[in-house]
């Protein structure tokens, strides 16, 4: 090989040291793992090292004198070769990928760098080419790319919204459903998601802890401009990924990421709420029926007790004064007393018991919202405008949900009755929930004629009513409401200072 014999030992240079031995250069090139070729200005091969022969499948003797185009394959675009020669003519190096063909016809992908070799006059005399077979690396890269594309397609195809957060809480990737969710909300869902998780998680949601442990499925509600509230079932899974920095090459360290999955359960939640409302309506209707029976029987007991007390008084009077003179009257009064007492006891035994449901943690805002849903048809039919002002972070209370629904339904029904029967022109009810010290306060205001100062205590008495006779009201509504509040260790009062109608306050201790 003439090229390999062109190396020579130089004379000592200006510093007194000799140039590096040419033989070392020759041996280094011959033994290099990278394929090296040297061509003349017409791309005629004048030297190849063994690695070049091994990659191409040709022997060194077969390659010498051949044009470099011997290895070219038609799938490489002509523009690539044009860019190559443009660089070389400018005496610039060119690097790129070429599809080459081996002696046996098989193809390989060559990562090629060609550098012009200049003489002392600055003229190009030869070209030095170095290449590596990167076919397997290319295949691996494409396989990874294809797998990533398949995974992204699979993630985009799923109906669940997904977002992956890095260890700083920033999104690494999102799928199509998550992007659709962002469009529905008209903002990034992540801040709303974190806030909702903090509200719904009993011990509070902490992102650093979630990045270590993940979090279990949690139902959350996000604000939505749609007709139905947006309910999501959120869960988080920690996925450890390898650190790709150079510092971690030998350490093999990992860092956590959090994959959050959001399943839209709005329709299911709506169906559940509809079923709950239907069940609640049926339960309240049954309780109203039983309550009507109780009120009727208690009214009968109440009205029977007074004449029976008179008979008892008469019997005692006659017994003291005319025991011997009127034995017949005394016997008649005794029979009347016995019959009356027996009737009273039978009526008392006939009064249905009130069912005592188990106490549980109650979201009072949600309970009142359900109550208002039940009353919506009546409010609309009566032309009553409702102003609902709930405190967003209202603490939960411990109570009996059905009894509390009955309580607020009774109070709201009374307010609507006052507006309708009073023929009020302005029919408004304001409902407010708020936290005061260690109690939760519910305020119900109406624009009716109010309750007179003389009646503000009497309206809580059994069978007292300020309504007109024949109105169908037995005067037990506020009495039963007071009983429910007392059973919850609360307070029910009428605000005596409110002059624009009636204001009722219910105070209940929270958990």
- pLDDT tens digits for range 386-420: 999 999 888 889 998 888 988 898 899 888 988 88
In this structure, of 79-83, 166-170, 216-220, 266-270, the range with the lowest mean pLDDT score is: 266-270
360-509 under CATH 3.30.1600.10, yes or no: no
Range 239-265 average pLDDT: 85
Q: Can you tell me the mean pLDDT for 367-384?
A: 88
Write out the CATH class of domain 32-138.
Answer: alpha beta
Least confident interval from 146-155, 422-431, 501-510? 146-155
Whether the pLDDT of residue 130 is over 90: the answer is yes
Position 324 scores a pLDDT of 60
Give the domain ranges of the chain.
Answer: 32-138, 158-264, 270-350, 360-509
Torsion, Cα of 299, 300, 304, 306 (10° steps): 10
pLDDT band for position 142 (50/70/90)?
A: very high
Q: Over 80: is that where the pLDDT of 47 sits?
A: yes
Q: In what order do the strands lie in the sheet with 491-494?
A: 385-389, 428-436, 439-446, 502-509, 491-494
Q: What is the pLDDT of residue 242?
A: 82
Q: What's the whole-model pTM score?
A: 0.55
The CATH number, out of the four listed (3.80.10, 3.30.70, 1.20.120, 3.30.450), of the domain defined by the range 158-264: 3.30.450
Q: How far does Cα 463 stand from its chain's mean position?
A: 50
Distance between CA 183 and CA 491 in Å, rounded? 47
Average pLDDT value over all residues in the chain: 84
Q: Are 60 and 72 in contact (CB under 8 A)?
A: no
Structure-model confidence comparison of residues 115 and 350, the more confident one: 115
Going 384 to 385 to 388 to 389, the CA torsion angle's sign is negative
For residue 386, give the H/E element and its range: strand 385-389
Is residue 69 predicted with pLDDT exceeding 60? Answer: yes
Would the CATH topology of 32-138 be identical to that of 158-264? Answer: yes
pLDDT at 84: 94
pLDDT reading at 255 higher than 80: yes
Residue 5, classified by CB atoms within 10 Å of its CB into exposed (0-12), middle (13-18) or buried (19+), is exposed
């Amino acid at each position: 090989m003439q090229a390999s014999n062109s190396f020579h030992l130089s004379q000592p240079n200006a510093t007194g040291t000799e140039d590096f031995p040419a033989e070392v250069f020759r041996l280094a090139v011959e033994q290099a793992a990278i394929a090296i070729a040297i061509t003349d200005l017409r791309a005629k091969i004048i030297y190849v090292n063994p690695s070049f022969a091994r990659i191409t499948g040709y022997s060194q003797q077969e390659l010498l004198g051949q044009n470099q185009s011997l290895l070219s394959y038609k799938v490489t675009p002509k523009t690539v070769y044009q860019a190559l020669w443009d660089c070389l003519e400018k005496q610039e190096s060119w690097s790129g990928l070429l599809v080459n063909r081996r002696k046996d016809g098989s193809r390989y992908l060559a990562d090629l760098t060609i550098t012009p070799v200049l003489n002392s006059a600055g003229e190009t005399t030869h070209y030095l080419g170095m290449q590596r077979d990167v076919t397997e690396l290319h295949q691996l890269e494409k396989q990874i790319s294809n797998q990533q594309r398949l995974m992204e397609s699979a993630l985009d195809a799923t109906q669940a919204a997904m977002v992956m957060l890095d260890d700083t809480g920033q999104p690494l990737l999102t799928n199509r459903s998550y992007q659709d969710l962002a469009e529905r909300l008209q903002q990034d869902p992540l801040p709303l998601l974190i806030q909702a998780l903090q509200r719904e998680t009993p011990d509070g949601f902490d992102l650093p802890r979630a990045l270590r442990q993940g979090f279990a499925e949690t139902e959350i509600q996000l604000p939505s401009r749609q007709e139905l509230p947006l309910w999501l079932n959120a869960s988080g899974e920690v996925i450890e990924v390898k650190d790709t920095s150079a510092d971690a090459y030998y350490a093999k360290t990992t860092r956590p990421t959090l994959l959050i999955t959001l399943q839209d359960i709005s329709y299911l939640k709506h169906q559940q709420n509809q079923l709950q409302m239907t069940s609640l309506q049926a339960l309240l209707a049954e309780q109203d029926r039983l309550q009507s029976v109780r009120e009727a029987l208690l009214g009968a007991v109440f009205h029977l007790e007074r004449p029976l007390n008179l008979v008892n008084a008469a019997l005692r009077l006659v017994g003291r004064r005319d025991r011997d003179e009127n034995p017949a009257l005394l016997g008649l009064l005794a029979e009347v007393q016995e019959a009356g007492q027996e009737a009273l006891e039978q009526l008392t035994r006939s009064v249905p018991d009130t069912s005592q449901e188990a106490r549980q943690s109650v979201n009072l805002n949600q309970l009142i919202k359900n109550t208002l849903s039940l009353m919506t048809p009546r409010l609309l039919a009566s032309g009553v405008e409702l102003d609902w002002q709930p405190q967003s972070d209202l603490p939960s209370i411990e109570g009996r949900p059905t009894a509390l629904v009955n309580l607020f339904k009774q109070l709201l029904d009374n307010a609507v009755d006052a507006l309708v029967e009073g023929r009020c022109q302005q029919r408004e009810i304001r409902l407010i929930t708020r936290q005061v010290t260690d109690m939760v306060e519910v305020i119900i205001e109406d624009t009716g004629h109010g309750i007179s100062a003389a009646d503000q205590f009497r309206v809580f008495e059994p069978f007292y009513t300020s309504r007109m006779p024949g109105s169908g009201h037995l005067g037990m509504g506020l009495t039963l409401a007071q009983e429910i509040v007392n059973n919850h260790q609360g307070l029910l009062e009428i605000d005596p200072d409110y002059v624009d109608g009636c204001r009722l306050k219910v105070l209940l201790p929270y958990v």
